[in-house]
């Protein structure tokens, strides 16, 4: 479905981002993963290469636009194009507002919103020049319903949705589609580390009766990146088993 497409995936070393990389590679895309540390990038590359995939990786500081732009341009020179950008890098939060420092809030916005803007700003001129492209952002079910603590996280994901919808309108005339995926509770390493007594009540609120798997979410990204979604833009696709709480 993605034969010969060149895709950059931020936050691609673990969890949902790693599975997106794997699914894209299975569908014959040329994939470049970004991670926060050299060690985590190398571990992810080793794992994917052991599965037989040819994959590349970088670890720029996503909050330094000049650094981001330089790496994006290096990738463009190497591969000749950038067809797909997946803005998946992000951090969560669960502190009550009384315990959330100004620095805590700023860090969430820096990674979840500002870094997404920097990556997008670096890629858009190249996509405009090619007159095609797909930008996919990782949102969250809490961007729609909020959450009882950790206000910075849903706030940042509301911003992701706003940027997604606005850029879809702005960039449509350049044949650039912009969408987001809003996962629900997903079986990543973070969720797997939670106690059983916390997870089981959550599962009872999900009509499908289970938490999502990274592959469930990655398949949604695959659909939106592929020609099957050629007339889909400005959408926030929920992948949450109909959980509404």
**What are the tens digits of pLDDT across the range 171-192?**
999 999 999 999 998 998 767 7
Predicted local confidence at residue 202, as pLDDT: 78
- pTM recorded for the entire structure: 0.95
Q: How confident is the model at residue 35 (pLDDT cuts 50, 70, 90)?
A: very high
Predicted local confidence at residue 192, as pLDDT: 73
Tell how strand 84-87 and strand 55-58 pair up.
Answer: unpaired
CATH number for region 6-239 = 3.40.50.720
**What are the tens digits of pLDDT across the range 120-166?**
999 999 999 999 999 999 999 999 988 888 999 999 999 999 999 99
**What are the tens digits of pLDDT across the range 100-122?**
999 999 999 999 999 999 999 99
Catalytic residues: 153
- Nearest-5° angle of CA 117, CA 136, CA 230? 130
Rounded Cα gap, residues 9 and 105, in angstroms:
24
**What are the tens digits of pLDDT across the range 36-46?**
999 999 999 99
Q: Is the pLDDT of residue 243 over 90?
A: no
Burial class (CB in 10 A: 0-12, 13-18, 19+), 31: buried
Q: Which residue has the higher pLDDT, 86 or 243?
A: 86
Residues 192-197 have a mean pLDDT of: 69
Question: Are residues 228 and 29 in contact, defined by beta-carbon separation less than 8 angstroms?
Answer: no
Rounded Cα gap, residues 185 and 191, in angstroms:
8
Q: Is the pLDDT of residue 193 over 70?
A: no
Q: Mean pLDDT over all residues of the chain?
A: 95
**What are the tens digits of pLDDT across the range 38-96?**
999 999 999 999 999 999 999 999 999 999 999 999 999 999 999 999 999 999 988 99
Question: Are residues 187 and 141 in contact, defined by beta-carbon separation less than 8 angstroms?
Answer: no
Rounded Cα gap, residues 176 and 174, in angstroms:
5
Predicted local confidence at residue 194, as pLDDT: 63
């Amino acid at each position: 479905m993605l034969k010969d497409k060149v895709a950059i995936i931020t936050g691609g070393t673990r969890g949902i981002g790693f599975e997106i990389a794997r699914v894209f590679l299975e569908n014959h895309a040329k994939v470049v993963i970004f991670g926060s540390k050299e060690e985590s990038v190398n571990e992810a590359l080793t794992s994917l290469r052991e599965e037989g995939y040819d994959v590349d990786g970088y670890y720029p500081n996503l909050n330094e636009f000049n650094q981001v732009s330089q790496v994006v341009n290096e990738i463009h020179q190497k591969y000749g194009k950038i067809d797909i950008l997946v803005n998946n890098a992000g951090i969560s939060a669960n502190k009550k507002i009384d315990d959330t420092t100004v620095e805590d809030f700023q860090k969430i916005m820096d990674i979840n919103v500002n870094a997404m803007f920097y990556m997008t700003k670096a890629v858009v001129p190249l996509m405009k020049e090619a007159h095609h492209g797909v930008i996919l952002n990782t949102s969250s079910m809490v961007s729609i319903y909020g959450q009882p603590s950790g206000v910075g996280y849903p706030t940042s994901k509301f911003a992701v949705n706003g940027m997604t919808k606005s850029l879809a309108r702005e960039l449509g005339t350049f044949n650039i589609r912009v969408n987001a995926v809003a996962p629900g509770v997903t079986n990543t390493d973070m969720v797997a580390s939670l106690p059983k007594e916390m997870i089981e009540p959550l599962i009872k609120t999900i009509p499908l009766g289970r938490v999502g798997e990274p592959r469930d979410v990655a398949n949604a990204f695959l659909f939106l990146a592929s020609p099957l979604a050629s007339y889909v833009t400005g959408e926030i696709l929920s992948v949450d088993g109909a959980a509404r709480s």
